[in-house]
Amino acid sequence: MRRWTSVAWNANSRILFEGDGAAAARVMDPIIKVEKLGKRYAIGRREPYRTMRDSLTGAVTGPLRKLRARLSRNGGGAPAAAASHIWALEDVSFEVAPGEVLGVIGRNGAGKSTLLKVLSRITEPTTGRVELYGRVASLLEIGTGFHQELTGRENVYLSGAIMGMRRGEIACKFDEIIAFAEIEDFVDTPVKRYSSGMYVRLAFAVAAHLEPEILLVDEVLAVGDIAFQKKCLGKMGEVARFGRTVLFVSHNMAAIESLCTRCLRLSGGRLAAAGDPLAVMSGYVAEGAAPGDGSAALQRHPGRRPGDTPAMTRIELRDGSGTQTGAIRIGDAMEIRVAYRTPRPVRPVLGSVIKTSYGAAVFCVSDRFCGQLAECAPRAEAIVVCRVERLMLIPGNYSIDLWLGETGADLDVIYDAVTFEVVPADLTGTGRLPPSTFGAIFCEARWSIYDA
């Protein structure tokens, strides 16, 4: 029966022990357990290297240092010392079950990469505790894990040995690794001569194929081309189906939605949310939106056409659930709500032109062509709602021009009335979307093939 390795870290010690497979095979027990994890970095200087004597001394004086750090963070320490450090992670706690695919999202500087470095045992935590049950393989950044002077073949065997695998186990997987990485012609070339694409393909192939119980993957996959990224996403899904655990850090929301069963969101080094990927991603989108995004007062809007009557007073954008937002997921519904006030009652005609961030018109929606409000009673004050059932815009930033009038005449025109963002979603089931350079509209299609 396979033996599982458990590594427990806390702020003052690192403990290595082994247990038999029977104890580790309890599916309900977490394979990763993080408790009150914190990582502090000094600003403007490098942390000194620690000798064995330093480590032993630290183990003895650890409780005192922890108390001093707590007092410092609560305002009881010297202000100058507190100001010279930054907490990349602070009080982060979560558990991961075997076979779970956990996505980790957050803005730049949120602490995502630091978390993976601690889990990979590259960086030691300042406070808290991490427990890992099983072999860990990680793909964090180009250049990590390989010896530059060794060949691809030698690095495969070296990586497997570091993970505790026997040479025979590595040999059984070797051909599969090289085929996945597509470097058959360069396997005996030193990796320092590899391109970045070749390097990351081999690094991922090694991490995914050497049967780790835990696979940690950072945004480094973005280095590869679209075909490679698709293959990697498929392989991570396959790894998870075989009961192994994947932690996946990415800014690609479509890939997170496609691959992950649960998601964490980090913000300012703290755990801001955890749970269903769609719910957590909604919070991530809202975090990036400044207060007032998705709405604008229009009475004194600078984009109003000179000479027009200021009839439109406010615009609000809402998603398919009716929530006001400045960010809409591709494929979701979008409502454009425009309030107006006119000197006399009118049967309103509202038109909207959606434009790219470069000012190019993408499409127009206008009741002038549909006449759905033609039979409504004239009103001097009302809110006109235009609902687009499926917003099939490629992720990016867009703006809206507004026209308000009545049949045959425009009363009020405002350019760039409001801006909004379209964010990714997994419409294809592959976690991939075309790049914005291929056009602003995403069209769904069906594909088939017949013998000639």
pLDDT in tens, 241-296: 888 898 988 877 777 887 888 999 999 999 999 999 888 887 776 665 554 578 99
Rounded CA-CA distance 239/63 in Å is 40
Instruction: Please determine, for residue 143, whether its predicted confidence score (pLDDT) is greater than 70.
Output: no
Instruction: Please determine, for residue 211, whether its predicted confidence score (pLDDT) is greater than 80.
Output: no
Give mean pLDDT, residues 9-23: 38
Q: Determine how β-strand 14-19 pairs with β-strand 4-10.
A: antiparallel
DSSP SS3 for 432? coil
Q: Which domains does the chain have, with CATH numbers?
A: 4-287 (3.40.50.300), 295-438 (2.70.50.60)
Residue of 166, 96, 162, 104 whose CA lies nearest to 132: 96
Helix H or strand E segment including 14: strand 14-19
Q: Determine how β-strand 214-217 pairs with β-strand 245-249.
A: parallel
Q: Determine how β-strand 101-105 pairs with β-strand 262-267.
A: parallel
Cβ within 8 Å of residue 364, ≥6 positions away:
351, 352, 353, 354
Residue of 403, 265, 408, 247 whose CA lies nearest to 338: 403
**Nearest 5°: phi and psi at 24?**
-80, -15
Cβ atoms 136, 120 nearer than 8 A: yes
Residue of 265, 283, 367, 285 whose CA lies nearest to 330: 285
Of the two residues 58 and 346, the one the predictor is more confident about is 346
Residues 353-363 have pLDDT tens digits of 999 887 888 99
pTM for the model stands at 0.62
**pLDDT of the residue at 224:** 57
Instruction: Please determine, for residue 188, whether its predicted confidence score (pLDDT) is greater than 80.
Output: yes
> Which residues on neighbouring strands pair with residue 132, listed in sequence order?
7, 32
**Nearest 5°: phi and psi at 328?**
-115, 135
Secondary structure letter of residue 439 according to DSSP: -
Other CB atoms within 10 Å distance of the CB of residue 403? 20
User: pLDDT band at residue 221, thresholds of 50, 70 and 90?
Assistant: low
**pLDDT of the residue at 17:** 32
